[in-house]
Amino acid sequence: MGRERRTGGPFSFGRGRVWLLGMIFGALLATSCGDESVDSSPPKGPFSLVDTNFSPESLIFPDDFAVQPLVAEGDIVKAEWSESAGQVKAEFAFLAYLPLGASATHGILWTHHCTAVPDKILGDGGGATVLEVYRDSSAGWRTVGYPYAVDFNPVGGTLRNGGGTVTPWGTVLVAETSEPDGPQWLRTEGQIRDTAEAGAGARWKNYGWLVEVDVKSRRAGEKRYALGRFQHAGSLIMSDERTVYLLDGATPGTFCKFVADAPRDLSAGRLYAYRQSPDGLSGTWIPLGTNRDTLFKARQFAQQDSATLFLGLTDLIQLPDGRLLISERGGDSVACGTALRRGGQLALHLRDFLRANDTLHDPQGRILRFDPVTDRLEVLLAGGTDPQNRGQEFSHPGYLALDSLRNRLVIHEDNFPREGTRKRLRRVNEVYLLDLAPDEPQISDLRRLLIAPRGSSISGGAWNSDCSTYFFNLQHPDRGNPPPYNRSGTFALTGWRDQ
């Protein structure tokens, strides 16, 4: 079951309604569903399964669902700080639904752009777009006015904004995934025209941090230098409003934790790196220095103190029992010699993947489970192929979301094209649902929800407040795909009430 669907082309934006951002702090939910609900009835039954397809030109989703495009790269976007308009940037990444007044039918969609391109209006490098949406009882999800661009000029701009999180106090943390290694990088790979000093000194040193952004003003406040500089991916702030778990997306990279000196203030505190115990049953947190030079090379100093090495940590969510689930992409033929010589120690689950010349070949990745109480980190679900169903192949997990109403994990694959496995050679990414009731799930427990259009990945995802809509982003699709699957964009997936 399941077939290719082609939704309509360009869409018009609604006008005449005003933003209600003052209500946004009533409830802020990024990737899981809250208690507020229009209809909180349990799911009625299974949806139709989606068949394997390695060459779709359009999005494939179950027959009993509907998909609506909401915003796409190239659409008109307001740049309030310059009283002008530009075009929405490409490479849609992190996505959050920010409910207005705790509503499941009216909220703000916030997305990051993992770009490093020049833009005279919106600013060079990365970006973020904010869009008000509401659900009409008969017509489905609609937009309100034009989207707005986030102003990153106050912090000297950003580069490749990938992961992020919504803080308990109502701001958004934006993760810069690029950490330039010199000034020339800005003009070649980064395409940054302004090379004047900014924030951390030389402008190339000003990228690779977390940025805290005010939701109301859509204006960046500060780069949070105390949380270290590395290839920031997902982050998660705990209920004490001081502890922040941080993922380093490098291969190899590290797993970090920041503890703020005071709640809701990320400007000062201590950064730690994770070291797994030899038996894997616990771990310790290595304190790193607080001076700017140490924080600028946080990964290097962590490795010198025997921090545990991972391959492409990407995203994390917290379960109701307090444990964390973490996606690890893996990688093909990854050189780890430098990190190992510094003192870094491979995570226990990676040691079987070590090859000659200190090279790691981990072609499919996994989902990890971490207990903040015991500091135990273990594999929940390893990538691979279901031995009973060769068409069920799971690899390179990326963005995660929690369906708390139905106790399911949403897993987005993030396969790079032209890498080693069959699926990646055919440039296919899929989205799976995983029932979290089994303590030791298998690949056969995965249920295929979506298959991405040719050349694309389905990046950030977020539930609305009652888990009746799943919003998701499409990233870098082939331009030859039919509209709207030929541009990066944000979509709404509905039909969950009958599932």
**Chain segment 217-258, per-residue pLDDT in tens:** 999 999 999 999 999 999 999 999 999 999 999 999 999 999
Q: What is the pLDDT of residues 85-113, one digit of tens each?
A: 999 999 999 999 999 998 999 999 999 99
**Span between the terminal Cα atoms of the chain, in Å:** 15
Q: Which residue has the tokens 């490749």?
A: 160
Per-residue DSSP letter, 35: S
Confidence (pTM): 0.91
Angstrom distance (rounded) from CA 160 to CA 162:
6
CB-side neighbour CA atoms (13 Å) of 336 = 33
* Six token digits for residue 341: 């010589």
Residue 482 in contact with residue 59, Cβ under 8 Å? no
Q: What is the pLDDT of residues 14-32, one digit of tens each?
A: 333 333 333 333 334 445 6
pLDDT at 7 over 80: no
Angstrom distance (rounded) from CA 250 to CA 331:
10
Residues 6+ apart with CB under 8 A from 139: none
* Residue 417's pLDDT band (cuts 50, 70, 90): low
Query: What pLDDT score was predicted for residue 197?
Result: 85
Query: What pLDDT score was predicted for residue 341?
Result: 97
User: CB neighbours (10 Å) of residue 304?
Assistant: 16
* Six token digits for residue 473: 């982003």
Q: Which of 331, 376, 373, 377 is nearest to 354 (CA)?
A: 331
Query: What pLDDT score was predicted for residue 6?
Result: 35
Q: Which helix (H) or strand (E) holds 313?
A: strand 313-318
Q: What is the pLDDT of residues 471-483, one digit of tens each?
A: 999 999 999 999 9
Mean pLDDT along residues 362-369: 96
Q: Which of 430, 445, 429, 444 is nearest to 387 (CA)?
A: 444
Q: Identify the bridge partners of residue 125 per DSSP, sorted by sequence position.
A: 117, 158
Q: What is the DSSP string of 50-75?
A: PPP-S--SS-EE-TT-EEEEEEETTS
* The pairing of beta strand 125-136 with beta strand 140-149: antiparallel
Residue 116 in contact with residue 97, Cβ under 8 Å? no
Q: From edge to edge, which strands make up the β-sheet containing 106-117?
A: 84-87, 76-79, 140-149, 125-136, 106-117, 92-99
Query: What pLDDT score was predicted for residue 43?
Result: 37
Q: Which helix (H) or strand (E) holds 296?
A: helix 292-296
Report the sign of the C-alpha dihedral through residues 285, 288, 290, 295, in that order: negative
